[in-house]
Structure 1
Amino acid sequence: MIRSKRSRGEQQTEQGTTRTPMRTLTFSVQDHRPEGWRGDDPLVIQASIRDVTIHRVYMDTGSLADIIYEHCFRLLLDRWKDNLQPTMGRLVGFTGHSLWPLGTIHLPLTITSHDKQQKKTALIDFVAIRHAAEHNIILGRTTLLKLGAVPSTMHGVMKFNTPMGASMILATPPKELQ
């Protein structure tokens, strides 16, 4: 069997391979910014899992794992939580500290543009952990790639492509995170 690699933006359909147009995502001083944004604040956004709005979603370009903390996981409907699968490995942080996850779960995550006009959903494999944190979810590089999203802490926004064009999510203003 011979398999060919598809480039980013190509999708397999019943009619064959199609190319999804990828628009250039740029950032400028004319972009909307969160109120009080200094440029060195953490990029925290809002997203949703099914119909549950998740506040304090931290964008971590240094993380490979996508984390859902237990306190947030408990907010999901029981029928979704039943899909939690055991995991055999530990989660190791950049300091070398490790945690045993509660398990992994496959959930649809939706991001919505700041003007509520555009949405994008991707199925994400979350690692559920029991740990005190001020965030509910951490999204890493894998999810950014799946969403075609580019965060900019300097501008306080995250941009992503949709069939209707480039869209933008404003970070939660720093004063709301205190």
Structure 2
Amino acid sequence: MFTVVLTAMLSGLVAGSTPPPHGDYAATARYVVHNNDWGSLASISTHQPMKGKPFTNVFSVSDGPVGNGTGVPYLFLSPLDVTDQDLQVNNNATLSMSEVMSGYCASQKWDAEDPRCAKIILSGKVVNVPEAEIDFAKNALFTRHPIMEDWFKMESHKFYFAKMQIEAVFVLDFFGGGNIVTPEDYFNAKI
């Protein structure tokens, strides 16, 4: 019973929504990004023994409060984190997310690697959120991750708001290989 309730809750992150149809790659990317509360962020490591190699780390993310997604992945970073240290040297990054979190794939009995279970890969630069956008970023993250309000009070960790400036979007949502979506099409997609 718990699994059924959890799946129903997760699949309803965007009220009344269902995944876009196969082939609507931009809308699929926006749908998956908005319905995920976390992703795997890859940077180029500056730390031995992995220096110069890709390094992935899991981060809580939000593109806006539920039902008000912008498509922009916001992050709450600390200079104490090794990935943040990498990004200070080279802010190029890749963020991977999967539709598996929504519960939809499980409801279809699809494995996370099944091509029908959409995977989104966003590439770009991780940058500080400008002052004028901080209130939105704070609301986006804190409404989806309430524990972050406590982190915000931890002055020794120097948390700050960051976002990904998306330069490329890759979508795999069916058999036959992935598809490239331009940032313009991504941001113009309706979910």
Which TM bucket (shorter chain)? 0.3 to 0.5
Q: TM-score scaled by structure 2?
A: 0.35
Q: TM-score scaled by structure 1?
A: 0.36
Q: Which has the larger radius of gyration?
A: 1
Q: Which has the higher strand share?
A: 1
